[in-house]
Structure 1
Amino acid sequence: MEARGSLGLAGFPPAQDGGPAPGDGDDQPAGSLRVRVEDCWIAADRALLARHSDYFAALFHSEMADSRRDELHVRGGLSARGFLIMLAVCRGEAVTLSDPEELWDAVECAAFLQAEALTRHLCDAVDSANCLALYSAARVFGVHELYHAAALFLCDAREDLWEDALGSGLPEELLEYSRSLSPASFVALGTHTPTTESLSGAFRVVLHLDEEGEGGWRHLTHLPALCSTSLAGVAVLHNRLYIVGGVRGYGKETVDGGHCYDPEADAWSPVPGPAQPRCDFTLLGHEGRLYAVGGTHRGTTSASAEAFDVATATWSPIRDAPRPVASAACAVARRRMFVCFWRPPDTTEIYEYAAVGDAWTPLTALRRAQSYGHCMAAHAGALYVMRNGPGDDFLRCLMERYDLATGQWSSLPGVYVNSKGALFTARVRGDSAFTVKHLLTLVYRVTPEGRWTPRRQMRGYPESGSLLTGLLRLPRRRRGGFT
């Protein structure tokens, strides 16, 4: 049988109808079995299949004769290539899919075998090159999570993909569904300490970028009177904006507690603070939890970390960060959490935190001279670290790209540098990166090669002070302008 795609099948001998599978069943490792898919026999681990496939889990726990056999035949037209892709993903291997037939087979396998890990992998892999193909396949095979993820990407990357979508032959149903969704809006807020209701004023606000016309900032909501954004942790999780901790008063007393904004309800609600009061810390939202890492309290920098479960509204300790850290940059890429540590004067270290196993793992280190400042953003399978240059270049923003698949760093040309100041915040939506300063808001296109090229510029943020940013999907009635 000839090799197929990047996960070739040439090494798998064909099955023989009417005869045994190749090899002696007594020589199989404990817990393994041979699975016949199309005309190939493929070795697989029984426990792995049961853990990652509802189809196999149900089969192995049933009273059917097949549940106890060392050889299984998967019928129904499933492709061997799709099965191999599923096995590789379930084993945690780095799988990159580009061929349209591979994508189709993978989606079919995810649906037929009810393989959630493969579905999540495909959702994470949605990009401009494969979005339309995955959208169509997800509709055909009824993989709703992927269908929705691809529709959201098409909505967010409308500027780049909509013309292709119109000419691709996609059913009107798919176009209409993506058109009905809200794109992520760039939101920003300035630096404020708690105040009283009577003195809350017009400046304590959260604004969102109106991308229509010249592009300006529109009012979204007022901050609660007791909410601090000064040295606070800010994150978006499940399309809600969380502001936790911070400081108040001239003595910079640490604020206990936080607030959550729901754009759908246009309402704020209180959030309990972490057990360890902290300010100037990292707050990261991921898969139902907020992660608070490091920060300072009463002048002492900490390595402690906690996780907040939004379902139970409770904080619990997690493993300490590798060392004390304040104001560390962070990002999520491919459902993995990364925190960026700067060790003066020239070392940037990136660690990955895995909630499963509660472990910090060093990912990479980069040595580049710099003066101050760190920002990290993620696009596709890469991390982008932005920092100020050393010496006389302290107002230049330098950027490096780390490819998660190859483990390689590359320095990007300074096309994103502007005379208005350094880049300290960046949010990625689709293939666009949004950055903002007080004089100018800049939007870049992130190319398939990982370069940032200027897309357009709009008005800067109208308030002074440090800026905190995020992406929120706003209801149509509030965002306006997008049709």
Structure 2
Amino acid sequence: MSPGPEIPVQVWVDGQLFQAEQSLLVEHCGFFRGLFRSGMREGERPELAADDELLQAVECAAFLQAPALARFLEYSVTSDNCSLLCDAAAAFGLHDVLHSAALFIRDGAHELVAELELPEARAYVAGLRPSTYVAVSTHTPTPGFLEDASRTMCYLDEEEDAWRTLAALPLEASTLLAGVATLGNKLYIVGGVCGASKEVVELSFCYDPEGGTWGEFPSPHQPRYDLALAGFEGRLYAIGGEFQRTPMSSVECYDPTTGCWSFVADLPQPATGVPCAHTRGRLFVCLWRPADITAVVEYVVQMDKWLPVAELCHSQSYGHFMVAHRDSLYVVRNGPSDDFLHCAIDCLNLVTGQWTSLPGQFVNSKGALFTSVVRGDTVYTVNRVSTLVYAIEDGTWRLLREKAGFPRPGSLQTFLLRLPPGTTGPVATALPEL
């Protein structure tokens, strides 16, 4: 039996009634596509046993075609709601929310896959690759005739408890005082120096793990080293840094779609090596001020302004780096006093504006803790002795497991990349001590 004729949809516009076929409206109009594929579509509503308020927000974002609400939901993904958001976004066609929730599950909440009710949500999660912890140590450009086996990026093979070589660095690339960041599952290296005179490396490089290839991309207008590089909201930000031994406050933004850099608002003060982190769709940096003050400021893209967030005073102490998790920023600094083999961690709650100190000291017998990366509800730290993985729980870090330390000397920069299936490489062996 063939289906009956499609019932026309009646639409009022400025007091005038129009009639149109539903299939045409769905095909040509995003609003009606969201309308008929949301909770107001014909047929049964999907059975999702979860928080009604969050589910209604997903429906509303789909029904009203509200990108701001959808982005808010993307930023709100946690281990408490990722299963619901993944199911609901799959049901109502919110791809970006689905992608964010599925990545969160794939990266660390594997047990929550069983809670997914929709087959399409489970299939989407299964089709994603987990992120891998990657590190690169300090290297300067080298002539081609001088082979240096240590000029490589390495990744942590957690199953085998070993660091493996991922790729060699380009000969012209420097990771000494360079900006290193990921964006869109690609690694970007900007700036850096070579030689005792701190000559700026003018070339910038991008690594694509899909093909395991390096390519050059335009450098910022202002040559700089000891900068912070952040991948945020589809763009790279080169923040502060130094040129000809002079600290700078200038900030530049790179759009990969156009291949162009542009200047944005300056930092409130000249700064080098500023720690930066982003969470909930917000970008933050730390600035050091006289009288032992750590100032946290936020870059607001819509306003093109840096706004003050909070300040913290610690005598004879400065911050090394900062990571973010949910509504908290964690500033890691040396301490106490001038003890560089211990690290103290202060937590800023972005909702209350209150600072708290994490209990205990983080001890590192061969080099202080200078780098860390958050993945899901865990944080990875590494030095030459061990890779330590902590669970972030109620504002504290609880040690989960210990893995092999990074076998190469030098300061480290770490990040996450999603590597192709079957990626392998030789074990990164330790080099002789000089």
Cα contact 1:396–1:421 (8 A) shared by 2: no
Change (3 A) 1:257 1:76: closer
Letter in 1 for 2:303: G
- Structure 1 equivalent of residue 28 of structure 2: none
User: What whole-Å deviation, never above 9, does each CA across 1:227-259 have from its counterpart, x for those lacking one?
Assistant: 011100111111110001110123221111210
Q: What is the match of residue 306 of structure 1? A: 252
Q: CA offsets per residue over residues 45-71 of structure 1, 9 Å max, x none?
A: xxxxxxxxxxxxxx99x656599xxxx
For the residue of structure 2 that corresponds to 1:236, the secondary structure is: strand
Give the match for residue 234 of structure 1: 180
Superposed, 1:215-294 pairs within 5 Å as 215-294=161-240
Distance 1:370 1:156 in 2: 38
Q: Would you say the 8 A contact 1:416–1:452 is kept in 2?
A: no
Distance 2:250 2:241 in 1: 8
Q: Using the alignment, how far apart are the partners of 2:90 and 2:119 within structure 1? A: 12
Alignment-derived partner of residue 131 in structure 1: 82
Distance 1:419 1:370 in 2: 21
C-alpha contact (below 8 Å) 1:246/1:255 kept by paired residues: yes
> Does 1:152 find its partner at 2:123?
no
> Contact (CA 8 Å) 2:187, 2:208: kept in 1 or not?
yes
SS of 2:145 mapped into structure 1: helix
Alignment of 1:18-417 (within 5 A): 65=16, 100-157=51-108, 161-166=109-114, 168=115, 170-213=117-160, 215-391=161-337, 393-414=339-360, 416-417=362-363
Distance 1:399 1:446 in 2: 13
1:85-135 Cα distance to aligned partner (Å, 9 max, x none): xxxxxxxxxxxxxx7111111011111111111111111100000111111
**Whole-angstrom CA distance in 2 between matches of 1:239 and 1:169:** 26
Local SS of the residue matching 1:364: strand
* Contact 2:342–2:361, Cα closer than 8 Å, also in 1: no
> Is the CA contact 2:292–2:315 (under 8 Å) kept in the aligned structure 1?
yes
1: distance between equivalents of 2:181 and 2:310?
A: 24
CA contact (8 A) 1:200 1:225 kept: no
Deviation at 1:432, TM superposition (A): 1.1
Contact 1:370/1:387, CA 8 A, preserved across alignment: no
Hey, what's the Cα distance between the residues in 1 that align with 2:15 and 2:418?
47
> Counterpart of 2:238 in structure 1: which amino acid?
A
Cα deviation, residue 173, structure 1:
3.9
Correspondent of 2:410 among 462, 465, 473: 465
Cα shift at 1:303 = 0.9
Match of 1:187, SS? Answer: strand
Contact kept in structure 2, 1:232 and 1:280, CA below 8 Å = yes
What is the SS of the residue equivalent to 1:465?
coil
Give the letter aligned to residue 138 of structure 2. T
Q: 1:274 to 1:471 in 2, by over 3 A?
A: same
Q: CA deviation at 1:308?
A: 1.3
Give the CA deviation at 1:421: 3.9
Matched-pair contact (CA < 8 Å) for 2:288–2:318? no
Q: How many residue pairs get matched?
A: 390
Q: How far off is 1:379 after superposition?
A: 0.7
Aligned residue in 1 for 2:42: none
Cα distance change, pair 111–415 in 1 and its aligned pair in 2 (3 A): farther
**Structure 1 residue 372 displacement after superposition:** 4.0
| Letter aligned with residue 254 of structure 2 | F
Separation in structure 1 between the aligned mates of residue 128 and residue 36 of structure 2, nearest angstrom: 34
- Structure 1 residues 465, 298: closer, same or farther in 2, change over 3 A? same
Deviates more, 1:300-309 or 1:366-375: 366-375
CA gap 1:153/1:432 in 2 versus in 1, 3 angstroms: same
Aligned to 1:197, the other structure's residue is in SS state coil
Post-superposition shift, 1:344?
Answer: 4.5
* Alignment partners' CA distance in 1, 2:223 and 2:60: 47
Q: Which amino acid aligns with 1:189?
A: V
Aligned partners of 1:374 and 1:386 also within 8 Å: yes
- The residue matched to 1:399 in structure 2 has which SS? strand
Q: 1:64 to 1:128 in 2, by over 3 A?
A: farther
What is the CA–CA distance in structure 2 between the aligned matches of 1:385 and 1:265, rounded to whole Å?
Answer: 35
Gap regions ≥5 residues in structure 1 = 1-58, 68-74, 80-98
Deviations 1:444-468 (A, max 9, x none): 1111x12110011111111111111
CA deviations on 1:331-390 (whole Å, 9 max, x unpaired) are 011111111112255211011012222111011101122434421001112111100014
CA–CA distance in structure 2, aligned partners of residues 376 and 198 of structure 1: 39
The amino acid of 2:211's aligned partner reads A
How far, CA to CA, are the matches of 2:233 and 2:124 in structure 1? 24
Residue of structure 2 equivalent to 1:52:
none
TM-score for the superposition, normalised by structure 1: 0.76
Distance of 1:281 and 1:156 partners within structure 2: 29
Mark the runs of 5 or more structure 2 residues left unpaired by the alignment: 1-10, 19-34, 40-49, 426-434
Aligned CA distance change for structure 1 residues 66 and 461 (closer, same or farther; 3 Å):
farther
What is the CA deviation profile of residues 129-159 of structure 1, one whole-angstrom value per residue up to 9, with x for unaligned ones? 01111111112212111111111100011xx
In structure 2, C-alpha distance between the alignment counterparts of 1:282 and 1:314, rounded to whole Å = 18
Identity of aligned residues (%): 49
1:182 maps to amino acid: R
Q: Can you list the C-alpha shifts for 1:140-193, whole angstroms capped at 9, x where unaligned?
A: 212111111111100011xxx333432x36244433321221111111101111
In structure 1, the residue matched to 2:5 is: none
CA distance in 1, matches of 2:61, 2:288: 40
- Whichever structure has more helix as a proportion of its residues is 1
Specify whether residues 344 and 187 from structure 1 end up closer, same or farther in structure 2 by C-alpha distance, changes over 3 A only: farther
Q: What SS does the aligned partner of 1:199 have?
A: coil
Classify the secondary structure of the residue corresponding to 1:387: strand
Query: Normalising to structure 2: TM-score of the pair?
Result: 0.85
Residues 275-294 of structure 1 deviation map (CA, whole Å, 9 limit, x = unaligned): 11110011111122211111
Q: 1:479 to 1:286 in 2, by over 3 A?
A: farther
